[in-house]
Amino acid sequence: MLDDFMARAALAGLGVVLAAAPLGCFVVWRRMAFFGAATAHAAVLGVAISLALSISVFAGVLAVALLMAILVTLTSGRGYAMDTLLGVMAHSSLAFGLVAVSFLTDVRIDLMAYLFGDILAVGRGDLAVIWSGSLLVLALMAWRWQPLLLATVSEDLAYAEGGTPRRESLYLTVALAVVVAVAIKVVGVLLIAALLIIPAATARAFSTTPEAMAGGAAVVGVGSVLLGLWGSWELDTPTGPTIVCVATVAFLLITSLARLTRARALH
């Protein structure tokens, strides 16, 4: 089965979306969409550093994503708004990454694969990394689900219950960095944020509990991956962008249907 490149692509996509589903819900609830995009943009610098030092791309991307998240956390509230800091760091890290890649004359690199993903080229080693990272994120989300929810709803309430909202934010930062690191091979730097946000935003339209939203996001994500792979095969289109297009169509259809249903219920 794993000798079939489409089977490997499907397993890779499923591994990413199953981890991105619960994490994406917190990204939506906390309005961290720009933070996710900024972390993903920083991944290009991680790729350049990895290739220059001949180390694992996963390790390089994870290190840079974590470093950027820590820098944003430490510098926020010191004269600059969070969106300003994220904008500066996102675009500057992407620019520095692209410039750094141009100096790697002795290394053959397919930059488009890192920007938009190359899920069809996923190998057995990539699958091991993707699923290891995804299972780690799922385990972290399961372990910290209630404290994360409490800190998301109200930091004051979390403090009253003996929690530490800053620590929960750190857990989210680590999980986000891991997802970015494992997803770069599947959908690429420029589409990772879409895979985090769109399934969660879609599930929000028909969910009544946080757990239902996380499950719904996983269903939407899995459907988007499978339909995106099939559509890419049939239409001969780029696979990563096709997956995101399918997720976007699902978002438009489901949110429109949910609004119509609510409007009819009011009448």
Across 113-133, average pLDDT: 84
Looking at 11-25, 97-111, 186-200, 241-255, which range is the least confident one? 97-111
> In order of start, what are the domains of the chain with their CATH numbers?
5-189 (1.10.3470.10)
- For 31, the 3-state DSSP assignment is coil
Across 187-210, average pLDDT: 88
Instruction: Tell how far CA 227 is from the center of its chain.
Output: 19
Place of tokens 């009253």: 160
Q: Mean pLDDT over all residues of the chain? A: 83
Choice between 251 and 193, residue whose per-residue pLDDT is larger:
251
Across 153-162, average pLDDT: 78
Give burial (CB, 10 Å; 0-12/13-18/19+) of 221. buried
Looking at 73-82, 130-139, 162-171, 252-261, which range is the least confident one? 73-82
Across 46-66, average pLDDT: 82
What confidence score (pLDDT) does residue 76 get?
60
What confidence score (pLDDT) does residue 228 get?
93
How would residue 242 be classed by pLDDT, with cut points 50, 70 and 90?
Answer: very high
pLDDT(108) > 80: no
Looking at 3-12, 30-39, 115-124, 222-231, which range is the least confident one? 30-39
Choice between 130 and 76, residue whose per-residue pLDDT is larger:
130
User: Residue 129 and residue 96: Cα distance in Å, rounded?
Assistant: 26
How would residue 81 be classed by pLDDT, with cut points 50, 70 and 90?
Answer: low
What confidence score (pLDDT) does residue 14 get?
92
Across 240-258, average pLDDT: 92
pLDDT(161) > 80: no
The answer to whether 230 touches 22, Cβ cutoff 8 Å, is no
Across 244-262, average pLDDT: 91
